[in-house]
Amino acid sequence: MTIKIPHTLSAGIGRTKEGAAWIATLAHHVSDASTRWGLAVAAPFIEEASCSWVAPCQQSNGAPAVLKISFPSPEALHEIDGLVFWNADPTVRLIAADKPSNAMLLEQCQPGTSLRACPEPEQDDVIASILRALWRSPDPQSVFRPLSDMMALWAKEAETTLSLRPDQRLALEGLQLYRELSSSTDTTLLATDLHAGNVLKARRAPWLMIDPKPYIGDPCYDATQHLLNCRGRLAENSQKMISDFANQLGVDVHRVRAWTFARLAVGGSGDDFEQTQQLARAVSLS
């Protein structure tokens, strides 16, 4: 079976040795899923496709769906389990799944317009509403990992490039906050990667979330991805934006600010390190 590989995918995860090897297996996995679930698969989406192959398809009964095959990254390890736990509220519905291949047959959001198309203040309202609906505690025996696991992985990766940061002291302060903030004993299941690009307009509900990367931990962390995707407003008045969004969520403003600072102090890449750390300073002084 021949399939199209979006440039965003080959230029994303495909730049790594593991990613390139995974991309080489995609045609087999798409063919296997098509046969197993009786699908007619169309050309893949290209938007946001940097770590998964996603395409619209038609089921044997004529119903529309989406076939998604995800790269087996540590962050996305329990995406299927998260979709099962949230049970289509407020996420996209999981129709079927094959864990060994990370293949998912998903509800197709129609019209599927990304929340990115809306003004950022409107995005604030939608993201806050979705996060409040997501935040529930799973069974203590669930498969979900603590947020501290992801922070430890990110810290390990950041330490290998610490010398590239213009302000290493600032980065070390962020890494310390990773450890302190993620030690929370909160049992809430988080999305961890909720931003406007992962929210689509649908018929069943006004907006549905896709692509969860579930971990258990501090809900204040879940505010950060949206904030970091609104850098213009964050740079203009970080105090107001963080305070307003935290209040919409009903969570502690100071912890949201601390998480946002930590991610900015440690984050960025290449030529972006200086700008990202500059924004971290603005957040820390708010």
Could you tell me if 203 and 250 lie in one domain? yes
Dihedral of the CA atoms 257, 263, 268, 272 (nearest 10)? 10
Could you tell me if 101 and 185 lie in one domain? no
Could you tell me if 124 and 249 lie in one domain? yes
Q: Sheet with 40-41: list strands edge to edge.
A: 40-41, 52-58, 64-70, 103-107, 94-98
* 118: number of Cβ within 10 Å: 17
Question: What pLDDT does residue 270 have?
Answer: 67
Q: What is the pTM of this model?
A: 0.95
- Name the band, by pLDDT with cuts 50, 70 and 90, for residue 286: low
**193-212 per-position pLDDT tens digit:** 999 999 999 999 999 999 99
Is the residue at 245 inside a domain?
Answer: yes
Could you tell me if 168 and 279 lie in one domain? yes
Determine contact, residues 33/66, Cβ cutoff 8 Å: no
Q: What is the mean pLDDT of residues 208-233?
A: 97
Could you tell me if 67 and 207 lie in one domain? no
Could you tell me if 249 and 124 lie in one domain? yes
Cis bond upstream, residue 90 (ω within 30): yes
Question: What pLDDT does residue 50 have?
Answer: 85
14 CA to centre of own chain: 18
Phi, then psi, of 54 in degrees rounded to 5: -135, 130
Residue 93: give its domain's CATH number: 3.30.200.20
**79-131 per-position pLDDT tens digit:** 999 999 999 999 999 999 999 999 999 999 999 999 999 999 999 999 999 99
Could you tell me if 103 and 121 lie in one domain? no
Q: What is the mean pLDDT of residues 231-254?
A: 96
Could you tell me if 92 and 187 lie in one domain? no
Tell me the residue ranges of DSSP E strands in the chain. 40-41, 52-58, 64-70, 94-98, 103-107, 188-190, 199-201, 207-209, 215-217
Is the residue at 198 inside a domain?
Answer: yes
Range of the domain at 71: 7-107
- The pairing of strands 103-107 and 64-70 is antiparallel
Q: How many percent of the chain have pLDDT more than 90?
A: 91
